[in-house]
Amino acid sequence: MTMASWSMQALDATRERIEVLGRDLVQGPAELADVIGSTKAAMMTGMGVRAFTYVVILLLVGIGIEWLYWSYAYAASRAAQSAPTASPRQALRPGLRRFFLRLCGLFLFAVAAIGASAAFSWPRGVQELVIAATLFLVVLRFAWIVVALVLAPGQPRLRLVPVASGRAGWLAALAMAVVFLFSLGRFVPELVERLAGASHAAGFLRFAAVTLASLLLLATAFIFFGRRTRAPRFPRAFVLALLVMLAYTSWLMSPMWGAIAAIGAAVIALQIGLRELVFFFWREDEDRVLPSIVLSAARFVVVLAGLGIAALVLEAPLASLAAAESPLIRLGLRLIGVATLALLTHVIWITLRTAIDQRLSRVPPPGTHRGPDPSSRLLTLLPLLRVTSAVLLLVMLVLTSLWALGLEITPVLAGAGVVGIALGFGAQALVRDVIAGVFYLAEDAFRIGEYIESGTNTKGVVERITLRTVALRHHNGPLHFVPYGALGTVRNTSRDWVIEKFNLPLPVDVDSEKIRKMIKKVGEEMAADPEVGPAMIEPLKGKLYRIDPGVKIFRCKFRTAPGNQFDVRAQAYKRIEAALARMGVGFADGKQTVLLSAPA
Amino acid sequence: MKLRGLRLVTGLLLMLFVTGHMANLMLGMHSLAAMEHWRPWLMGPWRNPLLQGLLVCSALIHIALGLYSMSQRRSLAMSKTDVIQLCLGLVTPPLLLNHAVVMHMAGEVTPNFDATFGEFLAVYWSFSPGYALQQLCVVMVVWMHAAVGLYSWLVLKPLWKRIGGLVLPVLFAIPVLALIGFAEAGKEVVEKLANDPVWRAHITENLKKIVQVTDPLDALQARILLVYGLLVLSAAGVLLWRMLRDRAMVSVAYDEGFSARGRRGLSILELSLANDVPHAHVCSARGRCGTCRVHVEAGADALSPRSSFEAYTLARVGAGANDRLACQARVVGPAVAVTRVLPAYADASAARTPEEWATP
């Protein structure tokens, strides 16, 4: 079918439809008056009285059952209504609880009323009428429950959408009026058509209901969305009004198109407002990531729901749709599948990224505190995890999308397998390095700023940790790049504490006990010193270690935090030297006393 | 408070009459003859001049008290139950007027008119069904009004625990069965009208008597309706005047950071309801249940003095010295701070067994 013939057909259909509408408008009112007159006449008979009696009975039964229900459920509903709420997010849970309680009551009412209608023998056609009327009532009440949940007129604490208090009531009234008109247009004309056979009257009623509802929606668009509350990005009111007009015009051309256009318009309108709606829930939070996830999910759900409702309205048999021959439909369904996959991947990715980023943002930047940095490990591993998961998710998404589109991915996977094996042989060392690295880091073998010695005799301060290598700065300057695979046993000299020992040779004639006490005193002074003291874990102590000819060797020992031992040792020497000088004791001078026997 | 007691008693009396009437209608499920047979027992007593006078007086007093209490409101902030009762109560007299006038006056204006069920059912089901539709609405409206009233009175009594499970189903079974009886009897009457010419002639003859007096009866109804309308309007006028009289603003601070602002002279509960502050009010501001009671933290002299009735209820529920009933304490000073004693979800059990809800 070419484009031209298709347009011609559409135009013809439209012309026909407009002619029918015109006839409805001309003949409808008179026919409607007839229908109303005959209904009145029918009500004024015994039949009418009986039908009305039954209706009153149904209402009483419904009300009675619901009352019984509420005499139990009222306290729960009040509790939900009066729950403390400070934000829309807190209001959502009690709001939903109340919503379901009321829904339950409505359901009981509907079931009781409709169920009781089976007990009576109705005049012809009346039962249909009564059930339609009950359903009409149920639809209105349902709409009210939803409006009360979302807009909560009169109860700003429980409101779920950003609407000012004074306007919520009006908006609720308008919403109810629109629902009323639409359900009137849905239920009444059908009955008029079927029971009275008055198709023009039905058409007229439909036209009147849809036109009025569209006018109300137009008014809503301008009154409620015309005001600028923030920097205007685009004319919201105008776009909304345009959508209403589009849907209405499509309805004038064909009811089916009208329904589709209305659903489309609703989806677009929701998409326009969705950002504000979702972010309203997190208005107190700084966190922007969670609302973004919810927003993208909500956007997708809205589109999917729109498609679903459209399928229901068109009465498209979903089962046969899946097996449809038309390549266009199949492609469409597959695209929906791919979109779902993309959304899922997106949500997983955002969740992962958020978790990683949040952990990373809590890690202080390296170098802000003394000593080896415990955060360096996370700073290495987390970005690595982020990149890896991104690549993994992307690959999975591409593969599953190809599969969802109906492309055969087994050869791709098999090919990837072969290439993988080839690459694997070549990249054996690389893989070994990377995996070994992951384990070194996971086991916290070293951190940036620590002095380590590897099994291959390279040593130095860890300067940089990458995916494959660790960079060690030797104390003389050279920088070693050691692949993890070659790291072997790691000797980390920067962990927890170090013990430093040094010898003190003194002349053999000194008093060992005095010296020991002197060293201990020096140690106590050092521990109390504000500069050296904090680095020390155990104070300096010394004791006689060995006596050599002419020399007494005292061994001194202290324990410090790693990396401080050299400074502390220098201090210790300095203080001991000063103390010895005060005692008048010199170091063993190494002079050998040679006694020469004079020749006799 | 004595007026409320009177309203309750007259209401109960009216409900007794309606129940008898309904019970009589239920017998229609059996047959028209059964209805007629039991009529002297179920409805006959009310034909006694004494009881009839009592009934009419009760109806008038009940209506007058309803209108009076409407005019005595200080604001439109009221519980849902009150809204329902007010609306149902207001539409009842005009809807019921026709039936009552025809029943009570026809006998007196027209000699030897027999107001049997057969006669009226024939009118409703065959001669002018419009009245039947009106009466069906009345059944629903009157019975809902009565049921809500009875329920909200009984549910506060300790007795309710034992009889509550029975009362509610019975409350709804009565009108449903009565209506079924009405429909069945109607069917019988329609058949009898078609198949029994003698009876039909009798009914038509009887009907002619009443048709003759239709005009004066209609005029009477119109006059009563006019008076009623004027009464309702004047009650609404008084209400409006009371609402507009004092426009100074007062404020109430509650626990949990809630606050309310409103006109001076409103009760604390009315301020809560108007400002969306969760506040328990089981008996709809009748001062009976004690669930709305508040602990006054500051500004006790900004509240209207305690009535003896309030003191009685407060003592009954075991309230402390600084407690007030929010529905009775009107805010006449600029500001007051209170703590709600019971959670907003307190239900009728808090009125029946206050000790179980006492805060530890």
Strand B249-253 to B335-340 pairing: parallel
Asked if B192 is an interface residue toward chain A (Cβ–Cβ < 8 A), one would say: no
Q: Between A59, A75, A84, which is nearest B345 by CB?
A: A75
Residue A312 — very low, low, confident or very high, per pLDDT cuts 50/70/90? confident
Candidate from A216-220, A320-324, B9-13, B168-172 with smallest mean pLDDT: A320-324
* Residue A421 pLDDT > 80: yes
Per-residue pLDDT, A161: 86
For an interface test with B, the pick among A66, A82, A102, A151 (most B C-beta atoms closer than 10 Å) comes out as A82
Whether B124 and A61 lie within 8 Å, measured CB to CB: no
Candidate from A130-139, A263-272, A425-434 with smallest mean pLDDT: A425-434
Whether A49 and B186 lie within 8 Å, measured CB to CB: yes
Per-residue pLDDT, A365: 63
Nearest chain B CA: its distance from A32 CA (Å): 21
Nearest chain B CA: its distance from A64 CA (Å): 6
CB A31 within 8 A of CB A110: no
* Residue A318 pLDDT > 70: no
| Average pLDDT along chain A | 84
Nearest chain A CA: its distance from B260 CA (Å): 13
Q: What is the chain A residue with the closest CA to B171?
A: A64
Partners of A543 in the β-ladder = A555
CATH of the domain spanning A498-583, picked from 3.20.20.140, 3.40.605.10, 3.30.70.100, 3.10.450.50: 3.30.70.100
Q: Between A43, A56, A61, which is nearest B139 by CB?
A: A56
* Residue A229 pLDDT > 60: no
| A-B contacts at Cβ under 8 angstroms | 87
Residues of A in contact with B344 (CB under 8 A): 78-79, 81-82
CB A480 within 8 A of CB A460: yes
> Distance between CA A526 and CA A557 in Å, rounded?
13
Strand A479-483 to A459-465 pairing: unpaired
Q: Between B129, B169, B343, which is nearest A49 by CB?
A: B129
* Percent of residues, chain A, with pLDDT higher than 70: 93
The residues in B 130-159 lying below 8 A from A, measured between CB atoms, are 130, 132-133, 136-137, 139-140, 143-144
Residues of A in contact with B192 (CB under 8 A): none
Domain assignments of chain A as residue spans, ordered by start? 339-425, 427-492, 498-583
Walk across the sheet containing A536-548 and list its strands: A498-507, A551-560, A536-548
CB B181 within 8 A of CB B25: yes
Candidate from A373-377, A574-578, B228-232 with smallest mean pLDDT: A373-377
Whether B132 and A56 lie within 8 Å, measured CB to CB: no
* Residue B2 pLDDT > 70: yes
Name the amino acid, one letter, at A118: A
Whether A60 and B179 lie within 8 Å, measured CB to CB: yes
CB A542 within 8 A of CB A515: yes
Residue range A48-86, pLDDT digits in tens: 888 888 889 999 999 999 999 998 898 888 888 888 787
Residues of B in contact with A57 (CB under 8 A): 176, 179-180
- Is 0.80 topped by the overall pTM? no
* Residue B329 pLDDT > 80: yes
Helix axes A126-150, A88-117, angle to 10 degrees: 170
> Distance between CA A61 and CA B94 in Å, rounded?
25
> Distance between CA A153 and CA A52 in Å, rounded?
34
Candidate from A198-212, A230-244, B326-340 with smallest mean pLDDT: A230-244
The more confidently predicted of residues B117 and B179 is B179
Per-residue pLDDT, A100: 95
Q: What is the chain A residue with the closest CA to B122?
A: A46
Span A355-369, average pLDDT: 70
Please check whether the domain covering A427-492 is classified as CATH 2.30.30.60. yes
Per-residue pLDDT, A323: 63
Q: What is the chain A residue with the closest CA to B138?
A: A56
> Distance between CA A128 and CA A123 in Å, rounded?
10
Partners of B303 in the β-ladder = B331
Q: Between B129, B176, B345, which is nearest A60 by CB?
A: B176
Whether A81 and B344 lie within 8 Å, measured CB to CB: yes
Whether A46 and B278 lie within 8 Å, measured CB to CB: no
* Residue A532 pLDDT > 70: yes
Q: Between A43, A50, A60, which is nearest B140 by CB?
A: A60
Span A119-137, average pLDDT: 83
Whether A53 and B183 lie within 8 Å, measured CB to CB: yes
Nearest chain B CA: its distance from A71 CA (Å): 9
Nearest chain B CA: its distance from A357 CA (Å): 37
> Distance between CA A267 and CA A274 in Å, rounded?
10
Span A447-464, average pLDDT: 85
Whether B256 and A74 lie within 8 Å, measured CB to CB: no
Q: What is the chain A residue with the closest CA to B129?
A: A44
Instruction: For A137-173, give one letter per residue: b (16+ CB within 10 A) or e.
Output: bbbebbbbbebbbbbbbbbebbbbeebeeeebeebbe
Residue range A567-589, pLDDT digits in tens: 888 988 898 889 888 888 878 77
Angstrom CA distances, B303 to A80, B262, B307, stand at 30, 14, 12
Residue range A4-48, pLDDT digits in tens: 887 888 888 888 888 888 888 888 888 889 888 988 888 888 888
Asked if B278 is an interface residue toward chain A (Cβ–Cβ < 8 A), one would say: yes
Span B276-287, average pLDDT: 85
DSSP 8-class letter at A510? S
Span A100-107, average pLDDT: 95
Residues of B in contact with A112 (CB under 8 A): none
Helix axes A46-81, A88-117, angle to 10 degrees: 160
CB A569 within 8 A of CB A498: no
* Residue B15 pLDDT > 90: yes
Q: Between A49, A67, A154, which is nearest B168 by CB?
A: A67
| Average pLDDT along chain B | 86
Nearest alpha-carbon partner for A575 in A522, A534, A505, A538: A522
Q: What is the chain A residue with the closest CA to B121?
A: A46
* Residue B13 pLDDT > 50: yes
Residue range B285-296, pLDDT digits in tens: 888 888 888 999
Nearest alpha-carbon partner for B98 in B148, B133, B46: B133
Residues of A in contact with B78 (CB under 8 A): none
Structural domains in chain B? Answer: 2-243 (1.20.1300.10), 249-357 (3.10.20.30)
> Distance between CA A217 and CA A248 in Å, rounded?
11
Q: What is the chain B residue with the closest CA to A68?
A: B168
The more confidently predicted of residues A413 and A95 is A95
Residue range B132-146, pLDDT digits in tens: 888 899 989 999 999
A45: region left, alpha or beta (phi > 0 left; psi from -120 to 50 alpha): beta
* Residue A369 pLDDT > 50: no
The more confidently predicted of residues B213 and B175 is B175
Q: Which ipTM was obtained for this model? A: 0.90
Instruction: Tell me how long chain A is.
Output: 600
How far, in whole angstroms, is CA B125 from its chain's centroid? Answer: 29
Nearest alpha-carbon partner for B213 in B302, B313, B111, B346: B111
* Residue A234 pLDDT > 80: no
Instruction: For A174-186, give one letter per residue: b (16+ CB within 10 A) or e.
Output: bbeebbbbbbbbe
Place of tokens 């969740």: A351
CB A204 within 8 A of CB A25: yes
Residues of B in contact with A155 (CB under 8 A): 276
Residue range B28-45, pLDDT digits in tens: 888 888 888 888 888 878
Span B205-224, average pLDDT: 83
